[in-house]
């Protein structure tokens, strides 16, 4: 029986070879073989354009009034300390830099200024209490067209028996550069102190009491 089956298979195989039967691939295989390969995916992505950024310039600095540092030595006097003035009473020339080794209380003022008169009244009282030769008080009138005689009469009338002088335009210019415009505004009663070592204190405004004036010149 087995021999019959084997013989039958051999016969079939022989018949197929003689007929040259070609076995075709299945449709699925043929499709895969003939399909066009997919296009390559573009990988070169152009770079995105840079985002435009607005450059904001730095904010401008706030303008401020700068006061030069104090003068510390007699060999480096400020310009306003070297400008010639004239004592309204005696006619003697002097400068604000002539009082080295002494405390100098400088009070810009005007004869028409009532605030100045109140401040100078306190200065008069403080000076009387102080009674020291090493402290000098100087009144500087900002009225550049005022005569020395009129200033002297004003001082004598009110009992202001210390040095007074009329400012020159040059002096007012230099004082303004050093201290600011307030120094030429008499109603604000501006004043400052030059200490014995030549150091110049800050500009002070406002009517001060006798005790405040004594404290300033006593501690200078």
Do the domain assignments include residue 15? no
Do the domain assignments include residue 25? no
| pLDDT mean over 74-79 | 78
Q: Over the chain, what is the mean pLDDT?
A: 79
Question: Residue 104 in 3-state DSSP?
Answer: strand
Do the domain assignments include residue 90? no
What domain range includes position 169?
100-218
Do the domain assignments include residue 56? no
CA 199 – CA 10 distance, rounded (Å): 132
CA 108 – CA 142 distance, rounded (Å): 6
Do the domain assignments include residue 44? no
Tell me: pLDDT of 15 over 60.
Answer: no
Do the domain assignments include residue 59? no
Q: How many domains does the chain have?
A: 1
Do the domain assignments include residue 17? no
| pLDDT mean over 40-68 | 45
Q: What is the pLDDT of residue 1?
A: 54
Q: What is the pLDDT of residue 76?
A: 84
Tens digit of each residue's pLDDT (9 = 90 or more) over 198-207: 999 999 999 9
| pLDDT over 90, % of the chain | 62
Do the domain assignments include residue 191? yes
Question: How many helices (H) and strands (E) in the chain?
Answer: 6, 6
Task: Identify the CATH number of the domain in which residue 159 sits.
Answer: 3.40.30.10
Q: What is the pLDDT of residue 34?
A: 45
């Amino acid at each position: 029986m087995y021999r019959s089956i084997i013989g039958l298979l051999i016969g079939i195989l022989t018949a197929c070879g003689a007929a040259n039967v070609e076995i075709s691939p299945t449709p699925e295989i043929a499709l895969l073989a003939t399909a066009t390969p997919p296009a390559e995916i573009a990988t070169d992505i152009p770079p995105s354009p840079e985002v435009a950024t607005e450059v904001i310039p730095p904010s401008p600095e706030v303008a401020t009034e700068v006061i030069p540092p104090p003068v510390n030595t007699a060999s480096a006097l400020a310009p306003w300390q070297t400008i010639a003035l004239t004592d309204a009473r005696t006619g003697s020339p002097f400068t604000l830099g002539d009082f080295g080794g002494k405390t100098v209380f400088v009070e810009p003022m005007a004869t028409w200024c009532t605030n100045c008169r109140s401040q100078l009244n306190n200065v008069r009282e403080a000076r009387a209490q102080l009674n020291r030769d090493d402290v000098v008080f100087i009144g500087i009138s900002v009225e550049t067209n005022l005569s020395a005689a009129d200033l002297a009469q004003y001082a004598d009338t009110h009992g202001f028996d210390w040095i007074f002088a009329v400012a020159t335009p040059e002096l007012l210019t230099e004082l303004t550069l050093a201290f600011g415009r307030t120094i030429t505004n008499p109603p604000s009663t501006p004043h400052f102190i030059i200490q014995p070592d030549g150091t110049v204190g800050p500009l002070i405004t406002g009517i001060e009491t006798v005790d405040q004036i004594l404290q300033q010149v006593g501690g200078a």
